Structure formats: structure tokens, C-alpha cells
């Protein structure tokens, strides 16, 4: 039986590539009670995200990448794959900010190609299906390089021990460089401050691809950047909220005009996640100053998304920005649309608050605090 048991922030090597573990989910098969773990990996050199699945019972390991577009069963069969496994999985443990809840269930199907090396996986959750492609990995190609020290048992029941998996000067140097790089990234993120969403998106090149920039029609010095996300609206919003540790001023999903765009406003930025006119998940992010001084619609946005984009800003941030940017051109001076009321039951506002509190608690437990000062 395989005895791998990694935890968040451990550094491992798989097939010669070094990864940091960003999170962990433990599943149980409802039918037979067997359990396995899946680890969210961030590649050291590129920060690309992948999933490592380790099944100790069947002694199988596989690495997956999520796919943005659905893969229907007919297409899977046409590719020469056959169903190798299916069932219902339930979440019995997690570590890190994983987009699942304890007790949440999903149906799953796994397909193998004729070589029995490549895999297509489909998971059906309550809010939709997720698709991944991957391949089996030899267990002997996976090894622990560095295990985090001094982490106590968490609420999910996973425990980090204090053993180190690296011996020898060369390996210690690799670890030191890796840790120093990540520390530098954290410090830079703090210094960037006002561009925290943009900075986060630019770093996640495996999830977000730059598409274009939109220059303000009123102040050509200002622009908004547009990215394509591999995730759907829900997963994209949660990923960005996680990425900025819930540090938001306003968050809400549209419930009007047949539109379900999600707006995230911080102290300095405005980010909107929407479905384009050709069904892509797009993310537009800009400074609040850009929105104040621009009457542009969204890039390839539908009518409902375009209306919500300006209405939500006008209803939440405009009054504050009018005083802040009073020397700039005001694109809302003749604005006559209705305001949007804050919805206390909004899923993403609640999620943001939860992430923010978790982040504060984590900083306090590690000796930090939630604010600067003596």
C-alpha cells in the first residue's frame, strides 16, 4: 500500500519536476468506503497548477490538469478512451482554501486510452461538471523534498510533522532558494498593494491568459486589462478571492437582466468576471480610477453584463471616488440608470468574508497580526 501523506506547503518532486503543495482534499468512495487524496500542486518554475491524485488502495498515482471546455462522452469515446472507473465521492477532509465543503458529494467517471496511460476525468458537482486530462505517474517518481516544520494539527485532521525530507548541501540550497523566492513574492505582493488582483492574475499563467487591453474613451492614460480564465464564473471568482485573501471592499453577483456576472471591488481596483458573447469566461480588471473616467462597455460583453458593470460601480464605489478623483473627468456626470441594492445573502460576499477571516486567523496564529503598528 502506498504511504504518501503530504501536507500544504510541503515541497515535492514528481517526474523530475519540483512542486509546492497548495492544498489537499481527501475523498471517500460512497460505495466501498475506500479513500484517496488529491493535492493541488504549484510548479516551482512556472507556478502552473496541477492536481496529483494518490490512491493508496489501488496503488495508483496520476497528475491532472483542469480543462476549460467541456468534453462530452461521445468525444471521449471517439478519442479511443474507455470507462475505467466511476462512482460517487464525498469530501471527508481538506487542507488549504479548497473550493469544496466537508460532506460535499460528486459523481465521477474516469476514462483511459488504449495505452492505459492517459486519463480523462469528469466530475459532476451540484453546480456543474468539471473536466480534467492527465496521465498515470509511477509512485517511485514521487518524493518529498521538504516538509514544513512546526505546524499543528488542523481542523480537518491532517497533521504536519517536523521531519525533513532533504539531506545534503545541494538539496538544502534548492530549498533555500525556493523559500527565498516565495518570501520575495509575498513581499512584492504587499508592496504592489493597489494592484493586488492584477498582480495575482498575472502570476497565474496556467489559469489566466491575457487577451487585450481597453483604453478609456475619456482619459487615454488609463486602461483595463482583459484575461481569459480556464474556469467557469464561480471557480474564477473564488480563485481570485482566495488569491487576494478576501481583501475586498464590495463583492456581488448580478441577479438581473438574465446575467450572472460577478463584480469584485477592492480599495483600488475593479474586477468583473463575465461570460463573453462567444461563451468564454473573461476577467476585466482595472483601477477604480479607470472606471470613474471611462464610459466604455466591457470587451465582448453582453448587454446585461455591460449594464451591471457600470451600475454596480455607481451603486457602491462612485460616491467615494467622486471625492477621491474630483480632478479627473467624471464619466458618470449624466448617468441616469437605477442603483443596485446590496444583497446580504450574496454567495461571493459571504465567501470573501470567510476567506478574509481565515487569513487573519492564520496570520495571528503564526505570530503576525491583522494590521500594522506597534
Could you tell me the pTM of the whole model? 0.52
Helix-helix angle 196-203:169-192, to 10 degrees: 140
**How many CB atoms within 10 Å of residue 160?**
20
Give the total number of structural domains in the chain. 2
Per the structure, the complete domain to which residue 302 belongs is given by 193-365
Residues 29 and 161 in one domain: yes
373 in a structural domain:
no
Q: Of all helices (H) and strands (E), which one includes residue 192?
A: helix 169-192
Distance CA 133, CA 137 (A): 13
177 in a structural domain:
no
Residue of 79, 48, 87, 80 whose CA lies nearest to 65: 48
The cell numbers describing 102, all together, are: 466537508
Residues 234 and 113 in one domain: no
Residues 212 and 340 in one domain: yes
How high is the pLDDT of residue 184? 56
259 in a structural domain:
yes
Residues 154 and 200 in one domain: no
State the Cα angle at 290 between 285 and 195, rounded to 5°: 45
How high is the pLDDT of residue 176? 61
Kindly give the pairing relationship between strand 105-112 and strand 118-125: antiparallel
The cell numbers describing 324, all together, are: 477621491
Distance CA 57, CA 43 (A): 27
Bridge partners of residue 137, in order along the sequence: 61
First-to-last C-alpha distance (Å) of the chain: 52
**How many CB atoms within 10 Å of residue 252?**
23
Residue of 64, 54, 62, 57 whose CA lies nearest to 4: 54
How high is the pLDDT of residue 191? 43
Tell me the pLDDT of the chain (374 aa) as tens digits.
677 889 888 999 999 999 999 999 999 998 888 899 999 999 887 778 899 999 988 889 999 998 878 898 999 999 999 999 999 999 999 988 788 888 999 999 999 999 999 999 999 998 889 999 999 999 999 999 988 654 443 433 333 333 334 444 455 565 566 556 555 544 544 444 468 999 999 999 889 999 999 999 999 999 999 999 999 999 999 999 999 999 999 999 999 999 999 999 999 999 999 999 999 999 999 999 999 999 999 999 999 999 999 999 999 999 999 999 999 999 999 999 999 987 778 999 999 998 888 777 655 544 443 333 43
Residues 224 and 333 in one domain: yes
How high is the pLDDT of residue 134? 94
Residue of 162, 135, 158 whose CA lies nearest to 51: 135
Amino acid at each position: 500500500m502506498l504511504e504518501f501523506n503530504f501536507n500544504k506547503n510541503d515541497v515535492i518532486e514528481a517526474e523530475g519536476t519540483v512542486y509546492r503543495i497548495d492544498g489537499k482534499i481527501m475523498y471517500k468512495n460512497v460505495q466501498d468506503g475506500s479513500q484517496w487524496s488529491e493535492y493541488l500542486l504549484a510548479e516551482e518554475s512556472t507556478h502552473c497548477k496541477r492536481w496529483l491524485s494518490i490512491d493508496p488502495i489501488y496503488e495508483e498515482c496520476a497528475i491532472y490538469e483542469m480543462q476549460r471546455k467541456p468534453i462530452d462522452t461521445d468525444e471521449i469515446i471517439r478519442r479511443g478512451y474507455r470507462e475505467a472507473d466511476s462512482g460517487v465521492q464525498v469530501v471527508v477532509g481538506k487542507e488549504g482554501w479548497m473550493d469544496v465543503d466537508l460532506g460535499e458529494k460528486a459523481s465521477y467517471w474516469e476514462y483511459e486510452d488504449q495505452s492505459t496511460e492517459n486519463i480523462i476525468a469528469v466530475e459532476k458537482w451540484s453546480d456543474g461538471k468539471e473536466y480534467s486530462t492527465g496521465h498515470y505517474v509511477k509512485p517511485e517518481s514521487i518524493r518529498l523534498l521538504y516538509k514544513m516544520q512546526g505546524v499543528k494539527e488542523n481542523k480537518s485532521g491532517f497533521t504536519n510533522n517536523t521531519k525533513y525530507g532533504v539531506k545534503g548541501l545541494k538539496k538544502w540550497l534548492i530549498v533555500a532558494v525556493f523559500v527565498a523566492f516565495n518570501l520575495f513574492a509575498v513581499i512584492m505582493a504587499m508592496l504592489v498593494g493597489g494592484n493586488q488582483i492584477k498582480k495575482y492574475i498575472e502570476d497565474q499563467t496556467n489559469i489566466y491568459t491575457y487577451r487585450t487591453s481597453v483604453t478609456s474613451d475619456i482619459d487615454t492614460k488609463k486602461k483595463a486589462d482583459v484575461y481569459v480564465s480556464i474556469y467557469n464564473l464561480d471557480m474564477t471568482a473564488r480563485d481570485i478571492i482566495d488569491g487576494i485573501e478576501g481583501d475586498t471592499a464590495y463583492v456581488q453577483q448580478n441577479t438581473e437582466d438574465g446575467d450572472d456576472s460577478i463584480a469584485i471591488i477592492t480599495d483600488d481596483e475593479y474586477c468583473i468576471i463575465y461570460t463573453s458573447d462567444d461563451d468564454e469566461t473573461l476577467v476585466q480588471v482595472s483601477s477604480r480610477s479607470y472606471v470613474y473616467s471611462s464610459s466604455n462597455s466591457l470587451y465582448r460583453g453582453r448587454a446585461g453584463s455591460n449594464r451591471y458593470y457600470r451600475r454596480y460601480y455607481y451603486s457602491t464605489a462612485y460616491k467615494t471616488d467622486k471625492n477621491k478623483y474630483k480632478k479627473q473627468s467624471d464619466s458618470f456626470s449624466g448617468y441616469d440608470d437605477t442603483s443596485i441594492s446590496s444583497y446580504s445573502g450574496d454567495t461571493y460576499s459571504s465567501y470573501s468574508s470567510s476567506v478574509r477571516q481565515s487569513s487573519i486567523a492564520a496570520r495571528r496564529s503564526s505570530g503576525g497580526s491583522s494590521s500594522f503598528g506597534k
